[in-house]
Amino acid sequence: MKDIALVIMAAGIGSRYGAGIKQLQKVGPQGEIIIDYSIHDALEAGFTKVIFIIRRDIEDEFKEVIGSRIEKICPVEYVFQDIDDLPDGFVCPAGRTKPWGTGQAVLACRDVLGVPFVVINADDYYGKEAFVKIHKFLVEHESSMYQYCMAGFKLANTLSENGTVTRGICSMDENGRMVKITETHEILRSTGGEYSSEEGLELRDDTLVSMNMWGLTPEFIDILQDKFVEFLKNMNTEDLKAEYLLPTIIDDLLRQERVTVQVLPTADRWFGVTYAEDKDIVVKAFKQLAADGVYGGALWG
């Protein structure tokens, strides 16, 4: 069995969600959290280890709620995203409290990642199909550098009933390889089915979008390190919320023709806890998945 890692980004502050650590909210019929389902589906697909990216201030609670259980099932590593974890010569601007984004989060894994990996958000449910497809791609391309993949979700399957969403809109060539990814904000679907967004893009139900589920190989960590230096050199130091984001990084690499990204379409429905009001919807969704037999009994029984 080839070693392929599941990297879970769980360091987000979750300011829109309100009080509490949203990644640790119980949503399953037997008290499972969303991360339980992602780990279950990844291990079932063939992934062999889990790397949690967390903040130091949630370490104890995180291990109590999820980490200590998963340690009994598969190898687990913990890394910490810290706003002061910057390349030599850089310091965090005074007054900044926001983490540096998903690019810095994955970069925090630099000392523990030496195998192909999939990276996901802790508070997103992706379904089984995407894990199977990404695992297959990574196994087949294990020795191929700069050949990556991404799960492509239908936009209609990724919306929240309780507010707008931000999604990476994918443009592809005839072979399903990504040409560019456009971070698109304030996406909203009207009751009539029309879409609006801050950028004014033409969007449809079947438009493929990124949910930050990337299949990557170890040299990507070196790319992240180099481009983080670029980002810090060029950023507006007065912007205390500037973020180093995976979709932006990968779009830049595509424009430079340094990498290829195969988009792997999935028909599964995404759901997650973006807003506090989403929790009830997610609880009902997992109850229905259990009733449909997608998940039978206790996940770790």
Question: Residue 136: which CATH number?
Answer: 3.90.550.10
Rounded Cα–Cα distance for residues 295 and 100 (Å): 35
Mean pLDDT of the chain: 91
pLDDT at position 118, please? 98
Q: In which band, very low, low, confident or very high, does the pLDDT at 21 lie, cut at 50, 70 and 90?
A: low
Q: Is 301 exposed, middle or buried (0-12, 13-18, 19+ CB in 10 A)?
A: exposed
Confidence of residue 301 (pLDDT cuts 50, 70, 90): low
- In a domain, residue 61? The reply is yes
Residue 273: its pLDDT value, please?
Answer: 78
Inside any domain, residue 301: no
Predicted confidence (pLDDT) at residue 19 exceeds the cutoff of 60: no
Residue 98: inside a domain, yes or no? Answer: yes
Question: Could you report the per-residue pLDDT of 48-62, keeping only the tens digit for each?
Answer: 999 999 999 888 888
Helix axes 34-45, 128-140, angle to 10 degrees: 40
Q: Is residue 177 part of a domain?
A: no
Instruction: Evaluate if residue 174 carries a pLDDT over 80.
Output: yes
* For residues 201-222, average pLDDT: 96
Confidence of residue 300 (pLDDT cuts 50, 70, 90): confident
Nearest to 109, CA basis, from 230, 220, 252, 253: 220
Per-residue pLDDT tens digits for 88-117: 999 999 999 888 999 999 999 999 999 999
Query: What's the gap between Cα 54 and its chain centre?
Result: 13
pLDDT, one tens digit per residue, over 124-168 is: 999 999 999 999 999 998 778 899 999 999 999 999 888 899 999
Residues of the chain above pLDDT 70, percent:
96
Q: Does residue 195 lie in a domain region?
A: no
Distance CA 176, CA 265 (A): 9
- For the chain, count helices (H), then strands (E): 8, 12
pLDDT (0 to 100) of residue 51: 98
Q: Is 184 within the bounds of a domain?
A: no
Asked, for residue 198, whether it belongs to a domain, the answer is no
pLDDT confidence band for 18 (50 / 70 / 90): very low
- The pair of structure tokens assigned to 27 is 């949503």
Determine, yes or no, domain membership for 189.
Answer: no
The count of domains in the chain is 1
- Once rounded to an integer, what is the mean pLDDT over residues 206-232? 96
What is the per-residue pLDDT for 277?
82
Q: Which of the four pLDDT bands, split at 50, 70 and 90, describes residue 80?
A: very high
**What is the distance between the alpha carbons of residues 3 and 25, in angstroms, rounded to a whole number?**
30
Segments forming the whole domain that contains residue 119? 5-150+210-291
Structure tokens at 42: 């990844």
Q: Quick check: 76 and 62 in contact, CB under 8 A?
A: no
CA trace torsion 13, 15, 19, 20 (10° rounding):
-30
Taking CA atoms, 79 is separated from 49, 53, 59, 109, 159, in Å, by 14, 5, 10, 6, 30
Q: What value does the mean pLDDT take over residues 242-256? A: 94
The region of weakest confidence among 86-90, 221-225, 226-230, 276-280 is: 276-280
Using pLDDT thresholds of 50, 70 and 90, give the confidence band for residue 3: very high
